[in-house]
A and B are shown apart, each in its own frame.
Chain A
Amino acid sequence: MAITRIPSTTHEPLLWEYADSKESTDVVEIDDRYGLYIDGEFRSPRSRSHFTTVNPATEEPLATVAEAGKADVDDAVAAARAAYEDVWGPMSPPERAKYIFRIARMIQERSRELAVLETLDGGKPIKESRDVDLPLVAGHFFYYAGWADKLEYAFPGIRPRPLGVAGQVIPWNFPMLMLAWKVAPALAAGNTVVLKPAETTPLTALAFARLTEEAGLPPGVLNVVTGAGETGSLVVAHDDVDKVAFTGSTAVGKLIQRQLAGTTKKLTLELGGKGAHLIFEDAPLDQAVEGVINGIFFNQGHVCCAGSRLLVEESVHDRFVDKLKRRLSTLRVGDPMDKNTDVGAINSKEQLDRISDLVESGRSEGAEMFQPDCELPQRGFFFRPTLFTGVSQSHRIAQEEIFGPVLSILSFRTPEEAVEKANNTPYGLSAGVWTSKGSRILWMADRLRAGVVWANTFNKFDPASPFGGYKESGFGREGGRHGLLAYMDWSEG
C-alpha cells in the first residue's frame, strides 16, 4: 500500500492511505457443486469425476465442478449436432441475431455479478474485470449479433454457410472474454458450440450457460463441458466436431495441430507471445511509461500479447528506465477484490512456480533485477512486479514466455535494429511502437511480423478489431469481419 505522509503546520504526521475498497461479493451466488451444461440443462457427469476450483487470492475452495469424460463429451457433441441440424441451422438469421442481442443485453444487466465471479475464480483485479473484461464481453456479443443476418456482405462472393459443430477450448487468463471471442462469432455464423473452459476458471462459463438459458437460447446450441487437459483433448479429437478453436500455450497448440492432422476439421489457434515494446527517443515519454506498465502488468502479465520485452532506444534508455522504476513503486499489489488493487493474484501455484523459475534464470544468467518494496498478502499466489535490465536476446527471459508480471529490458540504436530484434523470435502476436513520428509508425508497422501493432498505445481491444498471431503465435483472427471467416464454410461461392 502506498502510504504517504502529509506534514501539517502542527507537525503531526498524517497518514494518507487508500481505502480497503472492497467490492461486495453479495452480488454473486456461487453453488457448492456444478454439473455439466448439456442440451439445455445441468447434469451430473457420467464420468462421476469432479474437481475443485479455488480462489487464487486466498487459496480457499469456491466450488466443486464436474470433470467431463468421454461419454459426457459424446453427449455434448451429440446435443450440439442435433441442435444444429434441427433448430439453429435452419433458423432464419434475423432470429438468430435477436437471440444473440438478448444475450448481449443480459450480460450488460448482470455485469457486476459476472465481474465479481471472474475475479474470485481467476485472481484478476476487480477494477479490470469490471472496467475492461465485462464491457468487452458484452461488446463482442453485440457486435457479432449484428453480423448474424448480414453474412452475405461480410465477404464478397462467398455464400455464407455455417460449418456445423464448433469445439472450443479456452484459457484461464480472460475466461469470459475468451468465451465471448469464441462463442459470439460461432453462433452468429450459424454454428452450435461445445465449450471447454479452463480448469482453474470454470465458474463464469457456467454462469454464462445459465444466462443463455434465461435468454431462451434453444437447448443444445451452447454446451459447456468442464474439465482439464484430458477433457479438452476429447473435445478437439471428436469425430463429429467440424471446427476446432483453441487459445492457450504454443506447446498445447502444437499437440492439437498434430491431433488434427489427417482430418478435415478446420482449426484456428491463438497461442503464446513474447511481444516487443519499442520506445524511440521522440516518444511521448510519460504516456509511454504508462503503456509499458499496462503492457506487462495488466492482468498480472497473464496476457498472450503482453509487451514483455521492452526495447528502448539507447539514447533515452536510462531516463526511461528511471521513470519506469519510479512508476513501479506506485503499483498496488494485493487483494483482487479491492478496487484500489492494480496487480492481483497469480492464477495458480503452478503458474507462480513457473514465473519464479524463469525469474531465477534471469538472475543467474546475469541480468539485473528490480522489484519495488511492496508488501504481499500472506496467503494466496502473488508475485511482485519485476523488471530486468541488461538483458540480451539470448537470455531465457528474452526468449521464453513468462506469462507473469516480469519485464525484460533491452536496448537498440536504430529503427532497423529495433525491427530486427523485435522480429527475432518464433512468436509473432503483438508489438508496440512509441514515437511522435507518423511515418516511422507506418514504416515499423509494415516490417513488424506481428498480428497486432499498437502505436502510441497498448493492450487495446475492440470487438471490431481483428486479433491473432503470426508464426508460432498461431493462425486465424478473432474480432472484426475477419473473425467470422473461421466459422463459415466458404468452399462454394
Chain B
Amino acid sequence: MTLAPARQSILPDRVTTPTLRTFLRGVPSVDEVGAAERVAALSTRSIKKESKRAALDLMIRMMDLTTLEGKDTPGKVIQMSAKAHRPDPTDPSIPSVAAVCVYPNMVPYAVQATEGTGVLVASVATYFPSGLSDTRLKIEETKKVVADGADEVDMVIDRGAFLAGEYFKVFDEIRRTREACGDAHLKVILETGELETLDNVRRASMLAMAAGADFIKTSTGKVSPAATLPVTLVMLEAIRDFHDATGVQVGMKPAGGIRTSKEAMRYLVVLNETLGVDWMTPEWFRFGASSLLNDVLMQIRWLETGRYSSPDYFTKD
C-alpha cells in the first residue's frame, strides 16, 4: 500500500482499490446530452479576424507533431523534425511546433534532429498503444526513453484494468511511471474511445491527476473515436475541479481526428471558456496532430493573401 504523491492530496490516506472506488464515486456524473449541447453552443462562437492569426499561430505552437506508424524510419523522423522546426520554409514568421511525438526506438533520431531548435521530444511508452504488458516492463521502457533524451512521456493507462474496476493497479502504474519520468513531463493517455462513457472519462481523469499526471490526454489515435469536443470538455472540467481542490495545474491534450483549423479553433474556444487564459499556452495545452499543421498553414496563407490556398504549396514531410 502506498501513499498519494507529495502534493495537496484529495485522496484518502490509504490508497487501495476500495478507497479509490469511493473516491471515484464522488466524482460528479456527466449528462451526455447536456455536455453535447454545451459543446454545440460553444461551436457557434466566431473569432475576430485580427485574433484569428494569433489563434492560428498559437495552434502551431501548441502542436505535438506526431508520427506513430509501424513503418516509421529514422529518415521519416528526421524529415518530420525539420518540418516541426520550420513548418513553412517560405515564411520564417511561422513559429515552431511545441514537440515531435514518436515511438521509443525513434527517440535518439528525434533528439538529434531537434537539437538546438527549442522543439521538444515526446515519446510514447508503456507498450503504447495497448498497454497490455507487465508493469515492470512498462516502467523500464519509460526509463529508457527518458535516458535517450525524451523531454515528455506519453503513457497509456490500462483500460482493461479500469473497466474491470482494478483502480489501484491503474493508479499505481501511473504513479510509478511518473516517478520513472524524473524531470520529464508525463502525459497520461486515457484512450477515451475505449472508456466510452463520459462518466468513465471524468473518473479516469481524476484518477490520473491524483496519481501525478502532468497532462491528461484523450487518445492514442489508434482507436476511433479519438478526440472529440464533449470528451475534451469533460476532461477540462475535471482539471478545473482538481485545480479548485488542490491548487495544482494539470495540462490537457486532445489527440487524433483533429484535421482542420476550424475544428482546432473550436477546441480553443472550449478551452478558453472552461479554463481561461491561464491554460491558453503550450505549457498547458497541446494538440496531438499531423495533418492539422498544413491546414493551419493554409489558413494563415489565406488570411495574408485573401486567396483560398491549395495543398500543393505546403510541404508533406
Contacts and interface: CB of A to CB of B under 8 A. Distances in A.
A284 B31 contact: yes
Nearest to B268: A16
A1 to B, nearest CB: 10
Given A6-B281, A127-B44, A340-B45, A16 B30 contact: no
Contacts of B45: 18, 340
A15 B47 CA distance: 11
Interface stretch (B11-19, B33-41, B286-294): B33-41
Contacts of A284: 28-31, 34
A16 B272 contact: yes
Contacts of A285: 28
A330 B28 contact: no
B248 interface: no
Interface in B44-58: 44-51, 54-55, 57-58
B276 interface: yes
B237 interface: yes
Interface residues of A, number: 33
B44 A339 contact: yes
A217 to B, nearest CB: 34
Contacts of A16: 47, 51, 54-55, 272, 280
A6 B46 contact: no
Given A9-B61, A19-B46, A127-B44, A330 B273 contact: yes
A456 B35 CA distance: 11
A149 B184 CA distance: 71
A8 interface: yes
B119 to A, nearest CB: 12
A41 B77 CA distance: 75
A4 B276 contact: yes
Interface in B281-302: 281
B34 A291 contact: yes
User: Counting chain A CB atoms within 10 Å of each CB, which of B30, B44, B48, B280 scores highest?
Assistant: B48
Contact of B272 (A4, A286, A339, A456): A4
B166 to A, nearest CB: 24
A78 to B, nearest CB: 47
A285 B33 CA distance: 13
Contact of B38 (A4, A290, A456): A290
Interface residues of B, number: 32
A387 to B, nearest CB: 19
Contacts of A2: 272-273
Given A4-B272, A4-B277, A8-B61, A19 B38 contact: no
A457 B237 CA distance: 19
B92 to A, nearest CB: 14
Interface string A1-21: 010111111000011111111
A371 interface: no
A19 B272 contact: no
Given A19-B46, A340-B45, A6 B30 contact: no
Contacts of A53: none
A4 B46 contact: no
A436 B29 CA distance: 7
Interface in A323-341: 330, 339-340
A282 interface: yes
A9 B58 CA distance: 10
User: Counting chain B CB atoms within 10 Å of each CB, which of A4, A16, A282 scores highest?
Assistant: A16
Interface in A424-467: 436, 456-457
A20 B28 CA distance: 36
Given A18-B45, A290-B37, A4 B28 contact: no
Interface string A280-300: 001111111011000000000
Contact of A290 (B34, B46, B61, B280): B34
Nearest to B55: A16
A284 B57 CA distance: 36
Interface string A203-233: 0000000000000000000000000000000
Interface of A: 2, 4-9, 14-21, 127, 131, 282-288, 290-291, 322, 330, 339-340, 436, 456-457
27 contacts: A4-B280, A6-B54, A8-B58, A9-B61, A14-B51, A16-B51, A16-B54, A16-B280, A17-B48, A18-B46, A19-B47, A19-B49, A131-B44, A282-B29, A283-B29, A284-B30, A285-B28, A286-B28, A286-B34, A286-B237, A287-B31, A287-B34, A287-B35, A287-B38, A290-B34, A322-B244, A457-B31
